[in-house]
Amino acid sequence: RVIFLPGTFQNVSVSQNETVQAVVSRIPSEVAFVTLQFHTQHRNATLSYTRMPGLGLSLTAVDSGLLSALEPGQASLTLFLSSPDADTVAGTGVILLYSSTDPVPGACNMEFNLDIDPNVYIHYSLYETTIRFAPANLGYERGETPPACDKSTETDTRWRLQYDIYQYFLPENDLSERSLFSGIQAVADIQGMMESGKRIMTLLSSDKSMAVFNSIPGQGVIYSVIVRDPLLNTSASYVPVHTYACSFASTLDGCQTLGELLCASDAQGKISTKVFFTITGLAGLFVCFFGHRFFKCELFCMGFSFAAFFFFVLITRTTGLDYNICLAVSAVIGVVGGVLLVMSWWRFGSVVACIVVVGLMLGFLIASTVLFTPLGDLDVFRHSDVVFWVTFCCIMVIVPLFFVRWPREGNITTCGVVGAYAVILAVNAYIYTSLSYITLNILKRFLNNNFSAAFTDVPFQTIG
């Protein structure tokens, strides 16, 4: 038996075959409903209205929550925690209280198992992370009948409610349980999330209750939804949910073994990725400092990068080849591309033609960087691939055209920027760095037709 105090986090450990009573007492009379949320790092826990969990009366998840509407005169509440697996589950939980004027999260649920479901459901893949939640309803007094969910769309119904989607990044390269629990405790309630989190978007009741984000494997992220009643100026929080976009249970591509470019699908693929980008990083280091002086070497590296990237996208989209084969074939074609660019310089000797090709590499990086900023999250870019790619290509082409007048300065700039970024990609093969997503987001959009709808925010690096 564990006694919860409203708004105070309680760490709980649930052993195998044990059921823990979560008790809250002395609930004030002005409170109309209560939510209990319980969070673990990666093991499932079962939260239930009854001692024996049942369908529609319990939820088993890493981030679970239950909402209880209180009866007149009710001053205490008991819920139950248990471990569904043969392991001890440790987590942290909190009770939050809401009045009759606050919206009721998930009270108009038509999709999930619970009658009133205040939870946010999350699904991730290599490319994107999707969150879904059930619509809320207007608040009501104890003992009253809840307002009808779909009777009409007037302003005196739940259709006036608005949903703010928040995102909170956990410290980078920190997969510890302590870090997660500190983050959860910081943003579990409305005030904490509004102060510490970042509001990504606001959904109306007429919108689909879901949002899509860029997956960042190995980076902890907490998502939450705050439902607001603009007429009464009240709000309530759904149960926050977290993800690392990777598996703690996997021995091949689990969270503990991340660090390489996350296109690899198995251990062998990870080794090939490290080898490829280590060589790329060394070549980039050379180009960064000596590329302009050794012009033919620079041309080979630029031609290699251009051809390898283009054919990696082409092969991946048009064939079902294994990742290692795609990478090997792309590397071979990259060598051919590098040799062809050097041969064209040797045969025709046109500085401008070669600088234009080299400038396209700088243009690609600049265009990727521009759309890596919050500008890339504008609705016009997320909802229209045509607008996105036209804008991207225009920026990419303008850069080499700008440097046609100053080929020497353009070439030196390209060597420094492209070479330095190649080193960053090499570092990313061993240690996570968010700067790799400047180009990785573009690669994801090339390879996945549905990635355009995702918000592409990533955390900036911290020092310390």
**247 pairs with which residues across the strands?**
254
Nearest to 349 by CA among 309, 299, 383: 299
Q: Do residues 221 and 170 make contact, with C-beta atoms less than 8 angstroms apart?
A: yes
More confident residue, 269 or 280: 280
* 261 band by pLDDT with thresholds 50, 70 and 90: very low
What is the structure's pLDDT at 456? 62
Give the whole-angstrom CA distance, residue 36 versus residue 22: 9
260: buried, middle or exposed (CB in 10 Å: 19+, 13-18, 0-12)? buried
pLDDT over 90 for what percent of the chain?
A: 53
Q: pLDDT, tens digit, for every residue of 122-165? A: 998 877 899 999 999 999 999 899 999 887 788 889 999 999 99
Residue 34 has pLDDT above 90, yes or no: yes
Report which listed range, 127-131, 177-181, 269-273, 454-458, is most confident. Answer: 177-181
* 114 band by pLDDT with thresholds 50, 70 and 90: very high
Q: pLDDT, tens digit, for every residue of 373-416? A: 888 878 888 878 899 999 999 999 998 888 888 888 888 999 99
Give the whole-angstrom CA distance, residue 120 versus residue 241: 6
* 348 band by pLDDT with thresholds 50, 70 and 90: confident
